[in-house]
Amino acid sequence: MGESQLEQVESDELFYVPREAFLALVEGELSAEPRAMVFAAYARINILYMIARAWSGHPGTCFSSVDIMTWLFLQKMRGLGEGQDQCDLFFSSKGHDAPALYAVLSGLGLLDFELIHRLRRVDGLAGHPHVETPFVQANTGSLGMGISKAKGMAMANRLRGQRRRVFVLTGDGELQEGQIWESLGSAVQLGLDEITVIVDHNKIQSDTWVDDVGPLGELSSKFASFGWRVARCDGHDFGALEAALEQLDAVSGVPKVLIADTVKGKGVSFMEGPAALSADALYLFHSGAPNEDAYARGSAELNAAARARMKEAGLGELTLEQGRRPPRKPALAVERLVNAYSTALVEQATRNPEIVVLDADLVKDCGLLAFRDKFPERFIECGIAEQDMVSQAGAMAQQGLVPIAHSFACFLSARPNEQIYNNASEGTKVIYAGSLAGLLPGGPGHSHQAVRDISSLAAVPDLLLIEPCAEVEVAATLDFCLHGTSASSYIRLVSVGWPLPFSLPSDHTLRLGIGTEVRSGGDVVIFGAGPWLLANAYHAAEALERQQGVSTRVVDLPWLNRVDSDWLRETVAGAQRVVTLDNHYVDGGQGQMLASRIACLDLAVPVTSIGVSELPVCGTNEEVLAYHRLDPSGLKASISEALAGATPA
């Protein structure tokens, strides 16, 4: 790639190594280490291409782990040619490094190469591993599950009379999760020597250094104390990887762990820790895609490294092909709920010194930087350990503080569910703030799409579930949770910015169980919560009235598990149909709560409940909404079908 091509990279053009180059390399006569060095260099180019093209991903962890994956698949995995039902097994427990695995699999012809152009797209490659993808053995969920799954695979194979080795890759931040340590003892007791755990020890978790969040202590001694055989090596040195893995493979009777010391962002100088830490010590390339300039600079470095490796190996010129990145979306005036939450939190904490904030390694994504900087003594970073965080919060509440615990909604509602219930049983007040709530963003995939959190929390005694739709409603929600109730609460925050076709007054306040009409109408009443769902409902209502003459009211009901009976009776009076919308599975969502209350009040109005009805797909936001029929046209079609007496698809 010459200078003229580099200039083009600064716009929307991207470059990747084609399948033919990988094929020539794999079928060539190079010895193992030079071949792996070139293969990994090719894979890094394609990783950056995939993430840039998708406008999202996790470059840092992909680059720290790709050398490990390269060596395993080129040299250690037995039986790959016999198919995924016969070969040794590999999967990543941390899952953020999925593009690295895709680059390796596609380079070896184990995955359709054309799929590298469809990362985080519907009918493409999921943002986190999913078993529908060839040679992906396990879905990623909350972190910490991997070793337990490896044990299950090993035991199942033994029962079938098979001896297939199982390699599982974990992150070092992931080792803060309790399930990791729960899984170790019985693996030794069962003698599962076919399991080899590899720790991608890059020493930086999502936000900052592991040692600054939850120090892991002496890892080798900790694993050894459970009876595991331990080795350690440089995870970017193929000779060292081979020696360590051979050493472990020779051990029988006990499971093994390789601690691979790596560098997050390895291969792109400005992505490598510590060079990639910001002024406030936050790692800049855990998630997200490089912008045009960063792509051009990173691509130039990776291409130069590939050429150097090829020259050392006596190979010819580097072959690159062009792809094109979808253009950036135009900037719009959008509601940014997490930003509004950040501002409201600092304002409330300034007035109330009893407020303390707990975070599960998502300080940026949960909007907590401003609070942390202003009130460092009241900010507690708990790391990737949601159960520990929630129990701490409950104890703080018992001592008279006002704790607010934060994580992504998918993890905060599920991982520490028992701890949330236990806090409720003590009768204290804890506020839980779950960001990344609901179906969007669609790119990370179902492991991050929180579409069951309402159902998992709705039955917790005295826990209010609230989902604001606008910035002013975020401030009103936090104010209500702090001053308007003695109950605990769960604030469900949509993280994607979204334009609203309506506005709420600047002095908007919340009243328990009561919503706000944002569009008037009489034939149909639509209830919903959150920015994009209400915006799409509003546009669907406009189309219904314009095209079919159906007068449609849209109501913002931020209360997910409470509704005022008198207000509900008045709101649905005279309507031909009630439509409930859920940014959540229909089962267990706000809609079922409303339908139940309408039935209990003996209101003579039919109810249609619309929401997510199957495992969410991964893709662009537009693709995901269209697939689940939650975009304006899909909502309009479903409501029209209901009015016509048909069952919505």
In this prediction, residue 2 has a pLDDT band, given cuts at 50, 70 and 90, of very low
Alpha helices by DSSP H, listed for 95-192, are 98-107, 146-159, 178-182, 184-189
pLDDT score of 341 more than 60 = yes
pLDDT in tens, 460-475: 999 999 999 999 999 9
Mean pLDDT calculated for residue range 400-414: 97
Tell me the CA distances in angstroms from 548 to 543, 544, 551, 636, one per residue in order: 8, 5, 9, 10
Mean pLDDT of the chain: 94
Quote the CA–CA distance of 512 and 504 in Å, as a whole number: 17
The band of 647, judged by pLDDT with boundaries at 50, 70 and 90, is low
User: Which residue, 54, 223, 87, is CA-closest to 621?
Assistant: 54
Query: Cβ distance 587 to 593 under 8 Å?
Result: no
Q: What is the dihedral of CA 354, 355, 356, 358, to 10 degrees?
A: 150
Using the structure block, give the residue that is written with the tokens 């997510």: 612
Decide if pLDDT at 193 tops 70. Answer: yes
Evaluate if residue 483 carries a pLDDT over 50.
yes
For residues 100-117, average pLDDT: 97
The residue ranking higher by pLDDT, 637 or 280, is: 637
Task: Compute the distance between CA of residue 395 and CA of residue 28 in angstroms, rounded to an integer.
Answer: 62
Q: What is the mean pLDDT of residues 8-32?
A: 87
Number of Cβ within 10 Å of residue 514's Cβ equals: 17
pLDDT band at 8 (very low <50, low <70, confident <90, very high): very low
Query: Of 635, 568, 560, 567, which is closest to residue 605 (Cα–Cα)?
Result: 568
pLDDT tens, 243-297? 999 999 999 999 999 999 999 999 999 999 888 777 677 888 998 899 999 999 9
Helices (H), 527-605: 531-548, 565-572, 590-600
178-191 mean pLDDT: 96
Q: Is the pLDDT of residue 427 over 50?
A: yes
Span 204-214, mean pLDDT?
88
pLDDT, residue 93, reads 95
Mean pLDDT confidence for 526-540: 98
**Amino acid identity, position 639:** I
- Beta carbons within 8 Å of 466's beta carbon, 6+ residues apart: 477, 480, 481, 489, 490, 491, 492, 510, 558, 559, 560
CA distances from 451 to 127, 436, 447, 639 (A): 17, 10, 10, 21
Q: What confidence tier does 342 reach under pLDDT thresholds 50, 70, 90?
A: very high
Where do runs of H (alpha helix) occur along 135-283?
Answer: 146-159, 178-182, 184-189, 210-213, 219-225, 238-249
- Considering only CA atoms, which of 638, 438, 637, 643 is closest in space to residue 533? 438
- 538 vs 518: CA distance, rounded Å: 8
Residue 586 scores a pLDDT above 80: yes
User: Environment class of residue 553 by beta-carbon count within 10 Å: exposed (0-12), middle (13-18) or buried (19+)?
Assistant: buried
Give the per-residue pLDDT at 3.
34
Each residue's pLDDT tens digit, 137-154: 998 878 999 999 999 999
Residue 624 backbone class (left: φ over 0; alpha: ψ -120 to 50; beta: rest): alpha
What confidence tier does 10 reach under pLDDT thresholds 50, 70, 90?
very low
Instruction: Give the pLDDT confidence score for residue 20 in this predicted structure.
Output: 97
**Tokens 């691509």, residue?**
299
Amino acid identity at 232: R
* Residue whose structure tokens are 């910001």: 278
- Rounded Cα distance between 468 and 583, Å, is 12
Predicted pLDDT at 331: 76
pLDDT at 277: 76
pLDDT confidence of 326, banded at 50, 70, 90?
A: confident
pLDDT, residue 446, reads 87
